[in-house]
Amino acid sequence: MIGRILASIFCLVLIGALFFSGCSRQEATWSASVLPAGVPAEAPTSLSPSTTGATAEEPAALPALLTLDRAIDEALAASPELEQVKQRIQAASEQVKQAEALFYPRLVFTEDYGLTDQPGTAFMYILV
């Protein structure tokens, strides 16, 4: 059951990573047929500080690219079920340790006290 949960989490992370991998920053060229009237066909390849509003000392902040590794890390960090799965795995491993402990030899110390006036019982107390 835990394997199925982990497999479903992995599939969700993979689907999310594939979905967001298409959101990376890439240069695109548009044909004149898909652009509205009055828009030039050539898009600028870089933005100057005057068009972004940033000064020459402060470059414009670019969004970070979402990679597969980063998407997996974010999905694992945001998953509330992952901590529950870890707790269940830890509890199961402790139960396995308890089951294995039944096969280990045990040393038991006991003490009994008995008072009798019958000789046969008194002799048995001496032997034990």
Cβ atoms within 10 Å, residue 74: 15
pTM of the entire predicted model: 0.31
Q: What is the pLDDT along the chain (128 residues), one digit of tens a residue?
A: 777 787 778 877 878 776 766 655 554 444 445 445 555 555 444 444 455 555 555 556 666 788 899 888 888 888 888 889 999 999 999 999 999 998 989 899 988 788 889 999 888 888 87
9 by Cβ neighbours in 10 Å (0-12 / 13-18 / 19+) ranks as: middle
Q: Which two tokens stand for residue 82?
A: 């992952």
Supply the DSSP symbol for 34.
T
Query: Helix, strand or coil for residue 105?
Result: coil
Q: Which two tokens stand for residue 70?
A: 């980063």
CB of 122 closer than 8 Å to CB of 116:
yes
Q: Which two tokens stand for residue 19?
A: 């979905």
Three-state SS for 43-95 is CCCCCCHHHHCCCCCCCCCCCCCCCHHHHHHHHHHHCHHHHHHHHHHHHHHHH
